[in-house]
């Protein structure tokens, strides 16, 4: 395996599944591996760069129209297969730079394709499948909404290359008509605007921030730690009576999100 050309998503998918072959029938940009987590069945899903993608604007790890619908398929297949069976876990290995930007994408309704993916993951969760997101690289914007953000629990590697945000810095600077330096200064004072994963962690959305020696080339200990974190999350989900996202509330920088809900309930 040529580490330099493999994405983190590919690296971690292979590591977590002991290099098992992905399912056939999916495009190179969406890899689906049926494996195990502890002693339970688990489907692992990742979006990977595909330099030969027929859609020219989805070649470097973006989630495009096809990727969105294929993610939906990967998750719906699990829901359908396990309807009368124990609900297997789903692990979304998240390393997605953004949604794809292009004329074809808007023309063919990329928003609907991403809704397909997000909706599938949400339905899996509601049906009782433990869904865990493991952020190993970028988790940006629409791509993260589609792949990862509907998980019961979110684990992120504690690494400088791990980044969650709504828009890349340069584009965000242009849209808000500020300089990148201004944005970075604001981000230091406004935690939700920050790009680093430690600031993201203060929002209370993560189940765990996981230290590893190398996010790019996980060693055996890194892999064992990640597996352990996934298993603890899995047990926590199975023990939780609610399949919703309420565990994300209560973080120190998310007080207004709880206050609004309390007031809505009181006034309903």
Partner 1 sequence: MSGAAALLARDSFVELAARERVRALMDGRAFRELIDPFERVTSPWLARQGVVTQADDGVVVAKGEIAGQPAVILAIEGAFQGGSLGEVGGAKIAGALELAAQDNRRGIPTRAVILFETGGVRLQEANLGLAAIAEIHAAIVDLRRYQPVIGVIAGTVGCFGGMSIAAGLCSYLVVTREARLGLNGPQVIEQEAGIVEYDSRDRPFVWSFTGGRQRADTGLADVFVDDDASLLRQAVIALFERGRPATERSDAWRHYLDRLSRYDPARQATPEIVRQLLEPGASS
Contacts with partner 1 in 177-236 (CB under 8 A)? 186, 189-190, 192-194, 200, 203, 205
Under the binding rule (CB under 8 A), the answer on residue 56 touching partner 1 is yes
Backbone angles phi, psi at 131, to 5 degrees: -115, 125
Binder among 6, 40, 123, 247 for partner 1 (CB under 8 A): 123
CB atoms within 10 A of CB 225: 17
**By CB under 8 A, which span of 11-19, 36-44, 213-221, 242-250 interacts with partner 1?**
242-250
Among 3, 84, 175, 239, binds partner 1 (CB under 8 A): 175
Distance CA 120, CA 71 (A): 8
Segment contacting partner 1 by CB under 8 A, of 3-11, 40-48, 109-117, 208-216: 109-117
Interaction residues for partner 1, span 14-53 (CB under 8 A): none
- Regarding 263 and contact with partner 1 (CB under 8 A), the answer is yes
For position 164 contacting partner 1 by CB under 8 A, the verdict is yes
Nearer Cβ to partner 1, position 174 or 238?
174
126 near partner 1, judged by CB under 8 A: yes
174, 148 in Cβ contact below 8 A?
Answer: no
CA distance 27 to 199: 35
Count of residues in contact with partner 1, rule CB under 8 A: 76
Residue selected from 20, 23, 35, 101 as contacting partner 1 according to rule CB under 8 A: 101
**Lookup: tokens for 91:** 């692990």
Between 115 and 231, CB nearer to partner 1:
115
Name the pairing type of β-strands 208-210 and 163-165. Answer: unpaired
Asked if 218 and 227 count as a contact pair (C-beta separation under 8 A), the reply is no
Q: Please state the separation of Cα 244 from the chain's center in Å.
A: 17
Question: CA 180, CA 234: separation in Å to the nearest integer?
Answer: 39
């Amino acid at each position: 395996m040529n580490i330099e050309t493999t994405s983190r998503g590919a690296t971690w998918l292979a590591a977590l599944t002991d290099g098992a072959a992905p399912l056939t029938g999916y495009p190179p940009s969406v890899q689906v591996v049926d494996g195990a987590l502890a002693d339970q069945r688990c489907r692992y899903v990742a979006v990977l760069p595909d330099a030969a993608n027929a859609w020219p604007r989805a070649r470097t790890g973006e989630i495009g129209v096809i990727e969105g619908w294929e993610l939906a398929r990967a998750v719906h297949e699990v829901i359908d297969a396990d309807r009368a069976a124990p609900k297997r876990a789903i692990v979304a290995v998240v390393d997605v730079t953004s949604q794809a930007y292009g004329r074809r994408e808007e023309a063919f309704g990329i928003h609907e394709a991403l809704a397909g993916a997000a909706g599938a993951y949400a339905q899996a969760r509601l049906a009782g499948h433990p869904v865990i997101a493991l952020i190993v690289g970028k988790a940006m914007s629409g791509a993260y909404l589609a792949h990862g953000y509907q998980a019961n629990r979110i684990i992120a590697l504690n690494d400088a290359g791990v980044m969650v945000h709504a828009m890349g810095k340069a584009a965000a600077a242009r849209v808000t008509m500020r300089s990148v330096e201004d944005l970075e200064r604001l981000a230091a004072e406004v935690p939700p605007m920050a790009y680093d994963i430690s600031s993201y962690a203060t929002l209370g959305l993560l189940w765990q921030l996981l230290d590893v020696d190398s996010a790019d080339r996980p060693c055996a200990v890194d892999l064992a730690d990640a597996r352990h974190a996934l298993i603890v999350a899995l047990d926590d989900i199975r023990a939780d009576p609610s399949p919703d996202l309420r565990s994300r509330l209560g973080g120190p920088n998310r007080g207004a999100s709880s206050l609004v809900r309390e007031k809505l309930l009181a006034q309903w």
